[in-house]
Structure 1
Amino acid sequence: MALVEAGFVVLDCSEPEKLAAFYTEFLEGEETDATANRVEIRGADGMRMAFRRDVNATPPSWPRPENSLQAHLDFYVEDLDDAERKVVALGGRPLETKDAGGPYEERGYSDPSGHSFTLRCTRATAPKQG
């Protein structure tokens, strides 16, 4: 057995049940454990996340500098438009950001509690021109 095993990505939020439901649906996963102050899930691909109650949680303000990134998640998707529709239907919202350069097409969002994440297209795209 390894000395250290990967644990959970844990996000603080005021309503862990609601945030767990968002990510459970988005990751096509299941809830694996819940207490009064913490909910744990496992995504269909095995990713484990937990959501911890913090009644004083302040949503990150990224991309604004005040109270900026507290955590950031990247998710790989095959179709950005389909994934965006799912995120928005579940209560997430697109973030106003400048177009990022690089070899992958990507878009930024926030979950219903304000944590930022990026959807990155798994297929290679041609470099952006201009």
Structure 2
Amino acid sequence: MALVTAAVVVLDCAEPEKLAAFYMELLDARQTDVGSNRVEIKGADGMRMAFRRDANVTPPSWPRPENAFQVHLDFHVDDLDEAELRVIGLGGRPLETKGEPGPYEERGYADPAGHSFTLRSARSTAPKQG
């Protein structure tokens, strides 16, 4: 048995209820726990995230160097264009509009509190063999 197991990804933010709502919609998740300073959700695929209140939090500023890229999340999607529209509709903002072509096309975004994340195409864009 492992001594340590992964439990939950926790993002600090000024308004955990609002940030949890963003990710609940994005990930088709449900709320599993609420406290005065923390909200936890569980996605349809089992991924767990929590959002902890910190009134003094400084959002990441990637790609600018100050407070840059403290952490980011990767999400796999079937349709990047459709997922991008959903992110923007929920209050997220693009950090980059198009990734470099390659086996995994990806695009960077910030959630409403400024945390960065990447949408990565789940389908292969590599040329067919044979």
2:123 counterpart residue number: 123
Q: Displacement of 1:98 after TM fit?
A: 7.5
Q: Displacement of 1:3 after TM fit?
A: 3.0
On the 8 A contact 2:96/2:107 being kept in 1, the answer is no
For structure 1, the residue ranges without an aligned partner over 5 or more in a row are none
1:92 to 1:75, Cα distance in 2 relative to 1, 3 A: same
Equivalent runs, 1:1-130 vs 2, <5 Å: 2-96=2-96, 99-100=99-100, 102-126=102-126
Distance in 2 (CA, whole Å) between partners of 1:101 and 1:81 is: 15
Distance in 1 (CA, whole Å) between partners of 2:69 and 2:84 is: 21
Cα-Cα RMSD: 1.6
Q: Displacement of 1:71 after TM fit?
A: 1.2
Distance in 2 (CA, whole Å) between partners of 1:78 and 1:101 is: 16
Q: Displacement of 1:67 after TM fit?
A: 0.6
TM-score, normalisation: structure 1: 0.91
Q: Displacement of 1:101 after TM fit?
A: 5.3
- Segments of 4+ moved more than 4 angstroms: none
State how many pairs are aligned.
127
On the 8 A contact 2:62/2:69 being kept in 1, the answer is yes
Distance in 2 (CA, whole Å) between partners of 1:121 and 1:111 is: 19
1:120 to 1:23, Cα distance in 2 relative to 1, 3 A: same
TM-score, normalisation: structure 2: 0.91
1:98 to 1:67, Cα distance in 2 relative to 1, 3 A: farther
Q: Displacement of 1:126 after TM fit?
A: 3.8
